[in-house]
Amino acid sequence: MSAPLALPEDFIRGTQLLRAGRFDAALGAFRTVYSAAQAADNVDLMAATLCEMAWSCHRLGDAEQGLECAIGAKWLWQRRGNQLETARAMSVAAMLYLELDFADEAQDCVSRALQAASMEDNESMLAFVLNAQGLVLLARQQPEPAVDLLEQAVAVAGRQANTAGSAYYLLNLGMCHAMLAEQASSRADHAEADRERAAAIEFSAAAIQHAQRGDDFWTLRLALGVNARALALQGNGEAALLVLDQWAELLDQPGLSQHLHYLLTLGDVQLHVGRLEEARQTIVDALGRAEAARRLDQQVSAAGKLAEILEAIGDAPAALAQFKRYHFLCLEQSAAAAQRRNRVAVLRANVMLRRNRDQAMQDQYAPPTVFSAGQRRA
């Protein structure tokens, strides 16, 4: 068993910034550590830092940059023969593939992560990998088997008093039950939908409590959103609005992705409680922010929701125009997804070429420019 890795102060500071929700600052700290580790040829520290950089990018919504970091971390840990850290890096890569809507690649990554984790006796890492597998199943619209995996992860985190892990796994468990409720509703099984929404409310509320104790603002904000939406769908809209008030009152500064998620959730809840004009204003705000930031996925969500609200208001011409806009955005989203797939294919090919070159020359790992420069894509 290898000795524990000595972590510099900037690395520890980066992890503290991550927990506090200051993801840009955390990424900056990890870049500093990576540059120093590269200069010192400290491969283990380079690999560990790349994985944290990937996680930071995941929280920032920069999935392509994060994926390249995660692939680099996986490569280095594989060369070092460290199965546990290889499993961690592949699990993070799986979650980033999900962000990019590549469910097959995510499943491949998480399957290999499970294989690597099973070779070591480490419950904590196994829970992290099981959580990743649960998210892959959730993305594939298979929440029922995902629940079993996430319950195992929650149990491990509870035994180890892992507050951050408990919060994150409970959040994902709540999302599974929310999807089960949606599936039951589509079958017109209203009793089952109510039971599953009650479970979503219960688990997301538990996630909120753990995230508050651990000052994990990223998980806290997402859990508040899941909880509010489930409450609204359960017919308790005023309670849902109170939950979203808690989101707005948090003292940290959320990233754009989380702020857009909040606005979309708020508009949806306002629609459910009949506050149609407020809902319209909220979603118009979300759409404007998404357009300014060129966030196409959020533009699609906002345009579709705005069309629904306008229809509820009774403004048929505006609703029709918005539905047309939604349709064109969906077409643009499909084209963008194809371009993204090409970029990821090039990324993976470049990493493979670097790895083959490195193995052929029996030389030290030559990290990609993007790692050493540490610059996020615009």
Name the token pair of 212.
Answer: 């508050």
Torsion of the alpha carbons at 280, 281, 285 and 286, rounded to the nearest 10: -30
Output the CA–CA distances (angstroms, integers) from residue 89 to 28, 82, 114, in the order listed: 20, 11, 11
C-alpha to C-alpha distance for 156 and 169, rounded to whole angstroms: 10
Report how far residue 76's alpha carbon sits from residue 371's, in angstroms, rounded to the nearest whole number.
Answer: 13
**DSSP calls for 66-103:** HHHHHHHHHHHHHHHT-HHHHHHHHHHHHHHHHHTT-H
Q: What is the pLDDT along the chain (378 residues), one digit of tens a residue?
A: 455 677 889 999 998 888 777 888 999 999 999 999 999 999 999 999 999 999 999 888 888 889 999 999 999 999 899 999 999 999 999 999 998 888 888 999 999 999 988 888 899 999 999 999 999 999 999 999 999 999 999 999 999 999 999 999 999 999 999 999 999 999 999 999 999 999 999 999 999 999 999 888 889 999 999 999 999 999 999 999 999 999 999 877 777 888 999 999 999 999 999 999 999 999 999 999 999 999 999 999 999 999 999 999 999 999 999 999 999 999 998 888 777 777 777 766 665 665 555 555 444 544 544 444 344 433
Contact 203, 247 (CB under 8 A): no
CA separation, residue 150 to residues 107, 131, 158, 179, 193 (Å):
16, 6, 12, 14, 20
What does the buried/exposed string (b/e) look like for 127-153 if buried means 16 or more CB atoms within 10 Å of the residue's CB? bbbbbbbbbbbbbeeebeebbebbbbb
Q: Is the dihedral of CA 84, 87, 88, 89 positive or negative?
A: positive
Q: Would the CA dihedral through 166, 82, 104, 301 be positive or negative?
A: positive
* DSSP states of 263-280: HHHHHHHHHHTT-HHHHH
Which residue is it, tokens 């083959």? 356
Q: Which two tokens stand for residue 114?
A: 């499970």
Contact 93, 54 (CB under 8 A): yes
* pLDDT of 357: 59
Specify whether the CB–CB gap between 200 and 181 falls below 8 A.
Answer: yes
pLDDT score of 339: 79
- The DSSP letter of residue 252 is S
Q: Is 61 left (phi over 0), alpha (psi -120 to 50) or beta?
A: left
**What pLDDT shows up at residue 334?**
87
Q: What is the structure's pLDDT at 370?
A: 45
